[in-house]
Structure 1
Amino acid sequence: MAASATKQSLLMLASLLVLIGVATGSFYDNFDITWGAGRANIFETGQLLTCTLDKISGSGFQSKKEYLFGKIDMKIKLVAGNSAGTVTAYYLSSKGEKWDEIDFEFLGNVTGQPYVLHTNVFTGGIGNREMQFYLWFDPTADFHTYTVLWNPLNIIFLVDGIPIRVFKNNEANGVAYPKNQPMKIYSSLWEADDWATQGGKVKIDWTNAPFSASYKSFNDVDCCSRTSIWDWVTCNANSNSWMWTTLNANQLGQLKWVQDDYMIYNYCTDFKRFPQGLPTECNHN
């Protein structure tokens, strides 16, 4: 009888710990819905967030914390069907005129045509570092993990754990690198049919509205963050190997595969855009 009671107590404790874990990792705890007048919502006890877009408005949310370096994961399922003219943005950004920013943007397309994954890095308010990719799967059929690994050595963009892009710290060569301005996470679903799909040639078909993108499994366990501008940025002291991570040999092979087979635009090869010479970091990869 005592053994049975002990087992029951342990099961109750395990259930309580699971509930605590769910609560602390929830969208309620980590994000604020910032615009959209009810078009963004949190479901499943905080484990699922959706943004929608209709003819009146899109919607968006932002993190409660600010980050200064981190390995941050989010699972996203993109707008299905004819998503032409829509953009699902997921990015980190600081504030001010000379802001830093790390971008994932998903440019919708007509049914059956691939999404364009647009990436960019801003330092001191200056971007112009676009790289674009197709994906090797349908990003609307299921959730996939999009990761920013940002540390003092490099920014690594990963999709399902596979690196697609690296922006190295080239301060030694005079290239600014984001390392001093804490950034919040932002995401939104919005109308951009003046440029998003085939340069704006394809417009939104509002008969398909409302459009919807979904988010789950947010993870910022490995990060340096703060909850207020009055606080110091603090790191997880027990899990800081990510702080000095660069690509290993296997990941370099994966990066080459993605960039050889799925990259559709690279600013570092656009000589027409930079007739006076490519940006400095392009020569120090």
Structure 2
Amino acid sequence: MASSSSSSCSSSILLLMISAIVLSSVLAVVSASNFNQDFTITWGDGRAKILNNSQLLTLSLDKTSGSGFQSNNEYLFGKIDMQLKLVPGNSAGTVTAYYLSSQGSTHDEIDFEFLGNLSGDPYILHTNAKATESSNSTCGSTPLLISTLTPFSGTPNASCNFSVDGTPIREFKNAESVGVPYPKNQPMRIYSSLWNADNWATRGGLVKTDWTKAPFTASYRNFNANACIWSSGSSSCSSSSSSSSKNNAWISEQLDSTNQGRLKWVQKNYMIYNYCTDSKRFPQALPPECNMS
């Protein structure tokens, strides 16, 4: 994501513990995805690479430039998974963004932004859900790095669910009934980028990027999109699609009581900031979605 995006999600912070040993072993899983078919490298002048017979995509950042890619497909609803290994070691000043976005001045957006830190310190993760110029944020955390984004649901009580390594960290419910815009009308592409933001990313910009550690590298594997592809003005999911079929199970998927409990545990133990508790930011009244159960 371009650096201008930081303002839309800087209010939402999530603490993420990282283990390079665990990540290396998890990322060894064999993938059926093909990055050459599914994605296009969009910038970086050769700093982004597709490797290992199209099973691995890497982004790199040096003092001259970062890099990024986008999906070839647009998605309207779906469950989208990606295994992501962040910059190891001293990653202070760097940002690895992984997000969905439509286009235009009233675009919708659903974000993960991983903020680098000094060696041995945990990453911080921003989450953001934005619809038609309405920005909303909250957060949570889990001990592992594998990032699974489940942005959409096709039910009337839809929600954007964010999870990390299968553990839910945020549920952004559809609150259109109380006047809150919800990202459900604009198809989105998947984007990711690695870039320098040492003016704000680590301890509010106090810790700068150590360019002697460059190039910084993030890696991606095992992409899977169980989703409705948008093409030529229509969706690949017909109205007759059965929500009970294995491939369409995500349509009716909701957080059950077990996952609701895990979500509360994560937010109790790891959440740094929640805009729904920030009375200084909203002195008159909290946003209406904050009052939903």
**Category of TM-score, reference length = shorter chain:** 0.7 to 0.9
Residue type matched to 1:48 in 2?
L
The question of 1:147 aligning with 2:149 is answered yes
Shift of 1:117: 1.1
Contact 1:118 1:133 in 2 (8 A): no
| 1:199-220, Cα deviation, whole Å (9 max, x unpaired) | 1111101010000000000000
Cα distance in 2 between the residues matched to 1:88 and 1:99: 21
Contact 1:94 1:184 in 2 (8 A): yes
Cα distance in 2 between the residues matched to 1:38 and 1:171: 43
Aligned to 1:253: 261
Cα distance in 2 between the residues matched to 1:148 and 1:89: 16
Cα distance in 2 between the residues matched to 1:207 and 1:114: 21
The question of 1:183 aligning with 2:188 is answered yes
Equivalences for residues 39-118 of structure 1 within 5 A: 39-118=47-126
The question of 1:232 aligning with 2:245 is answered no
Out of 280, 283, 290, the residue aligned to residue 272 of structure 1 is 280
Moved more, 80-89 or 144-153: 144-153
Which 5+ residue runs of structure 1 have no aligned equivalent?
Answer: 1-20
- Number of matched pairs: 254
Contact 2:90 2:118 in 1 (8 A): yes
Cα distance in 2 between the residues matched to 1:88 and 1:252: 27
Aligned to 1:119: 127
Taking structure 1 as the reference length, the TM-score comes to 0.86
Cα distance in 2 between the residues matched to 1:113 and 1:209: 18
Shift of 1:233: 1.3
Larger Rg: 1
Equivalences for residues 173-212 of structure 1 within 5 A: 173-212=178-217
Aligned to 2:26: none
Taking structure 2 as the reference length, the TM-score comes to 0.83
> What secondary structure is seen at the aligned counterpart in 2 of 1:146?
strand
Cα distance in 1 between the residues matched to 2:278 and 2:47: 39
Equivalences for residues 207-218 of structure 1 within 5 A: 207-218=212-223
Change (3 A) 1:258 1:134: closer
Contact 2:142 2:167 in 1 (8 A): no
Contact 2:101 2:107 in 1 (8 A): yes
- Which structure is richer in relative contact order (CA contacts within 8 A, separation 6 or more)? 2
Contact 1:115 1:135 in 2 (8 A): no
Change (3 A) 1:195 1:91: same
Equivalences for residues 6-17 of structure 1 within 5 A: none
Which 5+ residue runs of structure 2 have no aligned equivalent?
Answer: 1-30
| 1:254-274, Cα deviation, whole Å (9 max, x unpaired) | 101101111111111111111
Aligned to 2:163: 158
Contact 1:115 1:134 in 2 (8 A): no
Aligned to 1:244: 252
Cα distance in 1 between the residues matched to 2:279 and 2:233: 44
Out of 168, 172, 194, the residue aligned to residue 177 of structure 2 is 172
